[in-house]
Structure 1
Amino acid sequence: MDFIMKKLNNIQLRIIGSLIEKEYTTPDYYPLTLNSLLNACNQKSNREPVLNLKESDLDNELEKLESLKLVQIDDASRAKKFRQRFCSSPFGYLNTTPAESSILCVLFLRGPQTPGEIKNRSQRLYEFKNLTEVEETLSNMSQIENNMIVMLPKLPGKREQRYMHNFSEEPFLNESSDNIIAIDNDFPDNPEIEIKSLKNKLEVIKSQIYDIESRLDYLERKL
């Protein structure tokens, strides 16, 4: 799987994660039309951050994903439909279990997560029996022969370890990206809300800097 490791960009990961999610949660409406996929990528629930992608953004990346055989286009009907071939699908890139696929999906859609967050946020995809099952699955996915995820150092003041997928070297999407919806623009005249929003953004930036430092540390130890 080395040929795709660390090669995908954030929009491609959002596309793949959205397709995996809908394959599990709304199978009757899967594969997805371009419009349905766009709505899935931009939806406001279970996404961190919320994006505002356009069809042209998806067209460009879907073409690349199809060339990598990570997305398949079904054009038998009047409208083209898209299905993922990244994991746990016939002739897919990765032969993952449902538990592993659900973890990758959550990490693609929401960025670094703790085992507890993964358990809570993957319930519609796969129901882990307990936290131990999550941790065992994460351990297997991080082994050298799999190398699907990496364990990040703990954030200052946090007790739980966080995990991130290993399919991109791009920094995780943040609120400075062009396609991200600014959620605080509705309250320009409320200083209290503005201050709270700025504090939240600062925490996000601190977390992202820490993620980048953690990735560099991980890469240095691998060299």
Structure 2
Amino acid sequence: MSDPSANEESESRVKPLTAVARRCLAVLVEKAKTTPDSYPLSLAGIITGCNQKSNRDPKMDVDEGDALRALDELREAGAVREIQGSGRVTKYRHAAYEWFDVDSPGAAIMTELLLRGPQTLGELRTRASRMHPFVDLSAVQAEVNALVEKDLVFAVTPPGRGQTFAHTLYTPAERQHIAAKVEKQAATAGSTVPATAPGSAANEGKIDKIQQRLDDVTARLEALEKKLADLES
């Protein structure tokens, strides 16, 4: 027989976060997977990751005060831990696996949703594969279904082609606008590019692959810049 108090504790562990806190958490998970040599991250590294131009939606201009408040929020929630790095520099690690109660594929999908907002299964497969390989859409669908059962993800649009999913860490005020925003984007896309346009899906796939390569190069450059900064200091 299950313990009701244990279920309540599991349900209450993950709570809505502010936009900057969500971005900081996603950056920590992303960098741990894509640039492990520069992880854990310093405050400066987190700020750089938050304000990164690629692989982010919306773009942000996070300053030191914003990041410190967000990290305090994440520490109180149990999603981030502060550690002492080399040279007595304070660094930060995520606790996303425990906090979300997910494994690597689930963390990759949650991270992409936190970094870019609502996405389709195809977009998630292309973008999250830089952190965890997904063999096909069925694998992504299975993982998304598991996240829905954990109340970490919800379907923004009805089932069917182009169904869009989002994370549940939005504040109540933000969540009210998610569906309307996605519907507006879908209507705009539908008015400019027919759904049956020849080669449209293939072109989107090529663009996503190019963007992924650019993201990887950007991440490597950021890691090199950080190493240079550490050497100079």
Q: TM-score, normalised by structure 2?
A: 0.68
2:131 corresponds to 1:131: no
Which stretch has the larger CA shift, 2-11 or 27-36?
Answer: 2-11
8 Å Cα contact 1:154/1:160 also seen in 2: no
Corresponding residue for residue 156 of structure 2: 152
Which amino acid is 1:153 matched to? Answer: T
2:132 corresponds to 1:93: no
Cα distance in 2 for residues equivalent to 1:205 and 1:65: 26
Corresponding residue for residue 141 of structure 1: 147
Corresponding residue for residue 49 of structure 2: 40
Corresponding residue for residue 12 of structure 1: 21
Corresponding residue for residue 49 of structure 1: 58
Cα distance in 1 for residues equivalent to 2:85 and 2:105: 31
Match 2:119 to one of 88, 113, 124: 113
Q: Judging by fraction of residues, say which structure has more helix.
A: 2
Corresponding residue for residue 216 of structure 2: none
8 Å Cα contact 1:171/1:208 also seen in 2: no
Q: Which runs of 5+ in 2 are unaligned?
A: 1-9, 186-233
Corresponding residue for residue 177 of structure 1: none
Cα distance in 1 for residues equivalent to 2:166 and 2:55: 16
Corresponding residue for residue 92 of structure 2: 82
Q: What is the SS of the residue equivalent to 2:99? A: coil
Cα distance in 2 for residues equivalent to 1:95 and 1:142: 13
User: Residues 17, 123 of structure 1: CA spacing in aligned structure 2 closer, same or farther, 3 A cutoff?
Assistant: same
Cα distance in 2 for residues equivalent to 1:10 and 1:130: 30
Corresponding residue for residue 174 of structure 2: 171
Corresponding residue for residue 73 of structure 1: 82
Q: Deviations over 1:92-126 (max 9, x none)?
A: 22331211110000000000000000011112101
User: Residues 122, 52 of structure 1: CA spacing in aligned structure 2 closer, same or farther, 3 A cutoff?
Assistant: same
Q: What is the SS of the residue equivalent to 1:160? A: coil
Corresponding residue for residue 72 of structure 2: 63
Q: What is the SS of the residue equivalent to 2:47? A: helix
Corresponding residue for residue 109 of structure 2: 103
Q: What is the SS of the residue equivalent to 1:142? A: helix
Q: Percent identity?
A: 28
- CA-atom RMSD, angstroms? 2.5
How far 1:148 moved relative to its partner?
Answer: 1.2
How far 1:11 moved relative to its partner?
Answer: 0.9
Cα distance in 1 for residues equivalent to 2:140 and 2:96: 21
Q: Deviations over 1:177-205 (max 9, x none)?
A: xxxxxxxxxxxxxxxxxxxxxxxxxxx99
Corresponding residue for residue 22 of structure 1: 31
Query: Would you say how many aligned residue pairs link Structure 1 and Structure 2?
Result: 173
Cα distance in 2 for residues equivalent to 1:137 and 1:8: 22
